[in-house]
Structure 1
Amino acid sequence: MKTVTGLFDDYDDASDAVGELEASGVPHGDISIVANNSDGRYDDGYRSDAAEDAAGGAGLGAVIGGAGGLLTGLGLMAIPGVGPVVAAGWLAATAAGAVGGAVVGGAAGGIVGALTDSGVPERDAHVYAEGVRRGGALVTAKVSDGLVDEAERILGQTNSVNLEQRRRAYEADGWTRFDADAEPYGDIKAERDRIRNASSR
């Protein structure tokens, strides 16, 4: 198994990538999405049973494997330094497990650890976490050798973020690494960052 990851500035592009991964044969339980929710796209009333079950010790991936696909199991959680996110899948469950499964309460910066534990280089994991902090959506899949090329194609599509370009843009502003103690981006700041990133593509 190999972990393949893609960062998107737009939630809808990330959602489309999840659908393509599912259609290509990647099982629901091997896909994860973590998307910034600073714009309040999903409120507490939207929270699914997936977040509650994960808080009780079940992994999100196990909860969302039903016929409706991964995105039907989205739940709300908070990640220090990132703020409110909408998440589903193994990465969310792993990040939440960093604090004993308290998904609804917070994930203690566990997103970087969850990514590195799955094989993502730490340097890249910090950029992915910062990308979510700044309003983006992260899609991650654990794929078998036979699906690696297709998963990389899907997550490397033109609407995904070029990781090296984004790293350079962050570093040009003085950023060095994701900081779980940093203030989360608010909706307006995240939207400004998305617009700036879209214009620099």
Structure 2
Amino acid sequence: MKTVTGLFDDYADAREAVSALEDRGVPSDDISIVSNNASARYGTAHDSNAAEGAGTGAGVGAAIGGVGGLLTGLGVMAIPGVGPVVAAGWLAATAAGAAAGAVAGGAAGGIIGAMTESGVPEEHAHVYAEGVRRGGAVVTARVDNALYADAEAILRRGSWVDPVQRRAAYAEQGWTQFDEARDPYTAEEIEKERLRLESMR
């Protein structure tokens, strides 16, 4: 099994990527989505807990366009340093520490530890986590070798964010790596960040 990961600035693009992966034959159990929910558009962290059973809260999934598969299991939770997210799948469960019934944190904990332990290069994991913190969404899938090229192509089409270019954009502001001890972005900060990134294109 290999891991493929894509960062998207918009939840709708990430949702399309999840659906395309499922259509290609990647099992829902091997896909994860984590999307910023700072605006509480999809409810609050008290509404459901995506980490329990790798995704509960089917009502949340239905309300935001999940028609089947992984997307029907979306729930609302909080990830240290990222803040409130809508999420489903194994990455969400691991990031929250629910898979082991523990609290996320420590050198191998949280969203960075969850990604790096699954095979995501650490330098990219920091960009992906920061991308979600700043309003984006990350899709990660564990795939068989035979599906790797197709899965990677699915995640790189459309509005995929190149992690190398995004790291450079973050570095312009003095950013070096994701820090789960920092405050999550507010909805207003996310909107300013989106405008800044759009102006750089």
Residue type of the alignment partner of 1:32: S
What is the letter of the counterpart of residue 6 of structure 2? G
User: How big is the shift at 1:200?
Assistant: 2.1
Q: Deviations over 1:124-164 (max 9, x none)?
A: 11111000000000000001111111111111113011111
Q: Aligned in 2, Cα 1:60/1:198: closer, same or farther, shift over 3 Å?
A: same
Shift in Å at residue 60 of structure 1?
3.6
Summarize the Cα distance change of 1:172–1:42 in structure 2 as closer, same or farther, 3 Å threshold.
Answer: same
Give the deviation of 1:196 after TM superposition: 1.9
Q: Deviations over 1:96-145 (max 9, x none)?
A: 2279436xxx7446100000000111111111100000000000000111
Question: 5+ residue gaps in structure 2?
Answer: 62-66
* Corresponding position of 2:71: 71
In the superposition, the TM-score normalised over structure 1's length comes to: 0.86
Query: 1:197: Cα distance to partner?
Result: 1.6
Contact 1:99 1:107 in 2 (8 A): no
**Separation in structure 1 between the aligned mates of residue 172 and residue 45 of structure 2, nearest angstrom:** 39
| Residues 45 and 78 in structure 2, CA contact (< 8 A), matched pair in contact too | no
Q: Is 1:148 the counterpart of 2:148 in the alignment?
A: yes
For 2:126, the equivalent position in structure 1 comes to 126
**Match of residue 184 from structure 1:** 184
Equivalent-residue separation in structure 2 for 1:30 and 1:156 (angstroms): 18
Corresponding residue of 1:21: 21
Deviation of 1:45 after TM superposition, in Å, equals: 9.0
1:101 counterpart residue number: 101
Q: Secondary structure at the match of 1:175?
A: coil
Structure-1 separation of matches of 2:40 and 2:131? 17
Aligned partner of 2:92 in structure 1 is: 92
Residue pair 2:45, 2:77 contacting (<8 A) in 1 also: no
Establish whether residue 168 from structure 1 lines up as the match of residue 165 from structure 2.
no
What's 2:64 paired with? Answer: none
| 2:136 aligned partner, one-letter code | G
Cα distance change on mapping 1:88 and 1:99 into 2, 3 Å: closer
The alignment yields a C-alpha RMSD, in angstroms, of 2.4
User: Structure 1, unaligned stretches of length 5 or more?
Assistant: none
2:161 match: secondary structure: coil
State the identity %.
Answer: 61
CA distance in 1, matches of 2:168, 2:142: 27
Instruction: Give the 3 Å change call, closer, same or farther, for CA 99–18 of structure 1 in structure 2.
Output: closer
Residue 191 of structure 1: CA displacement? 1.4
1:199 Cα offset (Å): 3.0
